[in-house]
A and B are shown apart, each in its own frame.
Chain A
Amino acid sequence: MISVWGRDSTVADVLSQLAARLYAGDAKAVAQLTLAALDGGLAPSEVLDGGLVTEMDRIGVDFRNGVVFVPEVLVAARAMHAGLDILRPLLAQADVATTGKVVLGTVVGDLHDIGKKLVGMMLEGAGFNVVDLGIDTSPERFVEAVKNENPDLVGMSALLTTTMPGMKRTIDALARAGVRGSVKIMVGGAPVTQGFAEKIDADGYMRRMRLLRLS
């Protein structure tokens, strides 16, 4: 039994409460419940997989199906981070493998931020380690990050047809630097299409959010 807010709860109860508070976007409660679950003897990876990840997946599905909208996703992601911030150092200590590592950025010349951030939050929710390079990211910065971070995936965002060529320039720069083969490249953003992704030799594009696992 685990004591939560002065009441004895089972492990299953704590995880389901954690999930419910995450879905509601209650960051404070998610932090408290994460600590309670750890105090109660759950391993950090159990709290992560059993509480945070599953529920972020559910948010993702509900978002895709039009049950919840961008505001709900943002506050749920903020709540997830409240739990993740507690778990992250413990997971590192325990040497728990992440699903994978991804470097994200909005391409050069483009200051759009939120779509790329949402993708990052969802990937974190799916257990990825996310390095967000931010907006207006030059091909050189992507190359540098790939060399330094050694990610599995590179995700690029462009919201302007004007800045979409920056994706191609970045892929070319990765190829010139000899690191193109070490990463899979995903592209996204309002005007981006499957056809464009294929044309620039990106590896992946998704029109809508999907659950993602590295094979």
Chain B
Amino acid sequence: MRLTPRERVIAQIRHQETDYLPYTIRFRGDEREQLDDCYGTDVADRLDAYYGSPAWQALVDNAVQRVLVPKLMVDASCGSFYTDVYGSTWRVDRRPYQLVEPAIKTPSLAGFTFPELDSVFTADWKEETLQAIDQQRDHFVVIGFGFGLWERTWTLRGFEAALMDAAAEPDFFEELIERVAHHQTGIVERLLELPVDGIMFSDDWGYQRGVLLGPERWRRVLKPRFAQMYALVHEAGKYALSHCCGSVADIMPDIIEIGLDVLESVQPEAEKMDPYELKRRFGSQITFWGGLGSQSIIPFGRPDEIRAEVSRLCREMGKGGGYVLSPAKPLQPETPTENAAAVVESFLQQAGVAFEGVPGLVEM
């Protein structure tokens, strides 16, 4: 019997091989048209022209579908500035949107209060979210709340200020982390009431060269709190997934120890994040989702190199299960159209989807 996309993802998380790999491809999509002058035109729009119609879009069937909590996000859809529900103000007319005025300006919690969860998780929100989830039947549905524990901490305080707090004001830093963890635990509890397959955490612990706060500080400050949150997710019978950019190879054993089921992004260009090496060392204990290089092969490689790399990812990362095929990041506007087409076509090809009568698909 043919698996549904949802069943395919679950089988992979259980480290069972599937008929083909579940996959996701995200297109920029969320950018504003008026920014095109600055960043180039949307890849999906160019593929429509390349294929002669948007029909190709219906063939792309992302196995994992994300539902978000918009009120907790930065709304970068219009204007130059946006103040989030926590009171931090962002510049949103360029990328990445930049925190210009943090809610907490000195290393003190005096006068700061977290937003009431009831004002975020309203009855309307719940109804809309249930509808959105219902539309994704047969897919693996995750719900995310944007900035995770470390990210919410720095977005309250400013990036540099939070990093300096970690070294110079450790008591305040840990108190703030503890308060954010308490607040976000409340968020996770609400999300776990929904009929989703998993919670999509998102916390960039890594930068290009390593763990931003350093592995030891990560272990002391973040690890126990994530262990608690992941445990809550598992108690509710759901999966814990996390987006995380950059290099986290140094803390992979810890991430596995606290029970993360799926690590998303897996940027191959980051230090020690070669997906094949990660697979060899940790592949039996966690599921990787991503791994196709968004800083290298997708924008700067050749279409035939992309096809070859996708084949290798399928063959080696898919061995024994534990893999969801994906570019490490959404396809960015600088991606040459032929390269974007190579990603789409090779992903569909491994899924056995016929892509007939479309130019550029001679080998299928």
Asked if A and B are interacting partners, one says yes
Would you call the interface of chain A mostly helix, strand, loop, or mixed?
A: loop
Which residue of the partner chain B has the closest CB to A164? B334
Which residues of chain A are within 8 angstroms of B259 by Cβ–Cβ distance? Answer: none
Q: A71 CA to B40 CA in the complex, in Å?
A: 35
Give Cα distance in the complex from A117 to B91, angstroms.
19
Chain B positions within 8 Å of A75 at CB level? 164, 167-168
Bits for B155-175, please: 1 = Cβ < 8 Å to A, else 0: 000011001101110000000
Cα A195 to Cα B130 in complex, Å, equals: 49
Complex contact B95–A161 (CB within 8 A): no
B39 within 8 A of A: yes
Residues of A within 8 A of B (CB): 25, 66, 68-72, 74-75, 78, 108-114, 117, 135-136, 160-165, 190-191, 193, 196, 208
**Contact yes or no, B299 A161, CB < 8 A:** yes
Give the total number of A-B pairs whose CB atoms are below 8 A apart.
84
A191: which B residues are within 8 A, CB to CB?
Answer: 269, 295-296
Q: Whole-angstrom distance from the CB of A138 to the nearest CB of chain B?
A: 11
Q: Which of B53-61, B212-220, B308-316 touches A? A: B212-220
Annotate B246-272 by CB proximity to A: 1 below 8 A, 0 otherwise: 000000000000000000000001000
Residues of B within 8 A of A25 (CB): 167-168
Q: Is B333 an interface residue (CB 8 A)?
A: yes
Asked if A162 and B40 make an inter-chain contact with CB atoms under 8 angstroms apart, the answer reads yes
Judge whether A165 and B334 touch: CB under 8 Å: yes
Nearest CB of chain A from residue B50's CB, rounded to whole Å: 20
Chain A residue nearest to B209 (CB atoms) is A208
**Does B209 lie within 8 Å of A161, measured CB to CB?**
no
Which residue of chain A lies nearest to B299 when distances are taken between CB atoms in the complex? A161
Give chain B interface residues in 28-50, CB to chain A under 8 Å.
38-40
Query: Is there contact, CB below 8 Å, between A111 and B91?
Result: yes
Residues of A within 8 Å of B294, CB to CB, are: 161
Distance (whole angstroms) from the CB of B146 to the closest CB of chain A: 18
Asked, given contacts A160-B95, A160-B332, A190-B208, whether A71 binds B39 with beta carbons under 8 Å apart, the answer is: no
B211 touches A161 (CB 8 A): no
On whether the beta carbons of A111 and B211 are closer than 8 Å, the reply is: no
Q: Report which B residues bind A (CB closer than 8 A).
A: 38-40, 91, 94-98, 159-160, 163-164, 166-168, 207-214, 217, 269, 294-296, 299-300, 332-334
For A27, the closest partner residue in chain B by CB is: B168
Question: Which 4 A-B pairs have CB atoms at the shortest separation, nearest pair first?
Answer: A69-B214, A71-B167, A191-B295, A190-B208
10 interchain pairs (CB within 8 A)?
Answer: A69-B212, A71-B164, A74-B163, A114-B160, A117-B160, A161-B299, A161-B332, A162-B332, A190-B207, A190-B295
Residue from B97, B164, B294 whose CB has the most chain A CB atoms within 10 Å: B164
Q: A109-B94, A162-B40 are known; give 19 further A-B pairs, CB within 8 A.
A: A69-B212, A69-B217, A70-B212, A70-B213, A71-B164, A71-B213, A71-B217, A74-B163, A74-B167, A109-B39, A111-B95, A111-B98, A161-B300, A162-B39, A162-B95, A162-B333, A190-B207, A190-B208, A191-B295
Q: Is the beta-carbon distance between B96 and A111 smaller than 8 angstroms?
A: yes
A164 to B295 alpha-carbon distance, docked (Å): 11
**Residue in chain B with minimal CB distance to A108:** B38
Q: Take A71-B213, A109-B39, A161-B332 as given contacts and tell me if A78 and B295 are in contact as well, using a CB distance cutoff of 8 Å.
A: no
Contacting pair B299 A111 (CB below 8 A): no
Residue of B nearest to A190 (CB): B208
CB distance from B191 to the nearest CB of A (A): 30
Of the candidates B96, B167, B209, B332, the one whose C-beta lies within 8 Å of that of A72 is: B167
